[in-house]
Structure 1
Amino acid sequence: MLAGYSKAMVEWMNLFQSQMPWLELVVRGVVIYVTLLVLMRIVGQREAGGLGLTDVLIVVLIAQAAAGGLSGESDSITDSVLLVAVILACSVLVDAASYRFPRLAALLKARPRLMIKDGQLEHRVLKREFMTTEEVASQLRLHGIEDIGVVHRAYLEPNGMISVLLRERRTPDEPSKPSAE
């Protein structure tokens, strides 16, 4: 009976023993993260919804990295934990580098894209983001805008949302009243 106990204990200990060399896990995590980050920057920002592309990337990668350890497909929880830590470290490093080096931020972080300028659609941006004029009109209606002519600027934000700045509505200047002297 004691031999059965020690065998079960050894199997439990295997859950925490890394099955893959740590350096290989780190390299795999970094390469996959960077590759997906670059690919997502190339694809564009329209489909992100309310999250930024890097947020979506982190969620997907962490879910995939943790899945093996959670479901038992991987023999080692340690491998999953290490891979999750590498992905989070990559995210923090990208954010820190972007903050510290603005030129690098231009490459790594999405910037707002001007979609409407002084009431005119920027068709080049729409084409790049695969957006139709009907989709833009729909987004404007969500902002309570029916006439594109009242839009001073509209931007496709890095999180996929559209922000709208309206033209200032000026009332005609009233003639000055003569002063009573």
Structure 2
Amino acid sequence: MSELTDLFAREFPVWHMIVRGSVVYWFLFLVFRFVLRRDVGSMGVADLLFVVLVADAASNAMQGEYRSINDGLVLLSTLIGWNFALDWLSFRSPAIARFLEPLPEVLVRHGRVNRKALKREMITMEELEAKLREEGVERIEEVRAARLESDGRLSVLKKRRR
């Protein structure tokens, strides 16, 4: 019975796990949002961050590094809480949504490449051309607008044929 009790006993105070989870979440969120570039066609930043943190926290809880299931559950609950809170806040507030997710970046407008935007996002012409081909565009001149969306996908509007 003592072993079962030890399995659920908390090694750290609840507030300690909440602070640790929150600090790691916000640090990684800010790094992903402002330092790392968006990859064309990649997963959303918040999605990737959430999956990585939850996997790590769950792994530690299951492997016994916390020595307590409750410590792992507190940390997982903290991460889930932040993820839910940010989704809820961004749904309720356009200002918060703009902070949490970058605005779409126009890469091509009326058949002309925005080289400053490509440089800012560190996207090569080869990458752009490959993504345009995936969208059925053979030549850049066919594009009315191509935007790098906040989740890393490229949305393309073709010019109308006359």
> For residue 152 of structure 1, what is the amino acid of its counterpart?
R
Task: Tell me what 2:19 maps to.
Answer: 27
Which secondary structure does the structure 2 equivalent of 1:15 belong to? Answer: helix
| Rounded Cα–Cα distance in structure 2 between residues aligned with 1:107 and 1:60 | 21
Task: Tell me what 2:95 maps to.
Answer: 103
Contact 2:40 2:154 in 1 (8 A): no
| Rounded Cα–Cα distance in structure 2 between residues aligned with 1:81 and 1:125 | 42
Residue 72 (structure 2) pairs with residue 84 (structure 1): no
Per chain length, whose mean CA-contact separation is higher, i.e. which structure has more relative contact order (CA < 8 Å, sep 6+)?
Answer: 2
Residue 111 of structure 1: how far off its partner (Å): 2.5
Flag structure 2 segments of 5+ consecutive residues without an equivalent: none
Flag structure 1 segments of 5+ consecutive residues without an equivalent: 1-8, 171-181
> Sequence identity of aligned pairs in percent?
35
Contact 2:40 2:153 in 1 (8 A): no
Number of residue equivalences: 161
> For residue 139 of structure 1, what is the amino acid of its counterpart?
K
Residue 48 of structure 1: how far off its partner (Å): 6.5
2:107 aligned to which of 99, 105, 115: 115
Residue 148 (structure 2) pairs with residue 156 (structure 1): yes
Query: TM-score when scaled to structure 2?
Result: 0.93
| Rounded Cα–Cα distance in structure 1 between residues aligned with 2:67 and 2:51 | 23
| Rounded Cα–Cα distance in structure 2 between residues aligned with 1:21 and 1:35 | 22
Bigger radius of gyration among the two: 1
List, as ranges, runs of 4+ consecutive aligned residues in structure 1 with deviation greater than 6 Å.
none
Which secondary structure does the structure 1 equivalent of 2:144 belong to? Answer: strand
Contact 1:45 1:110 in 2 (8 A): no
Query: TM-score when scaled to structure 1?
Result: 0.84
Task: Tell me what 1:16 maps to.
Answer: 8
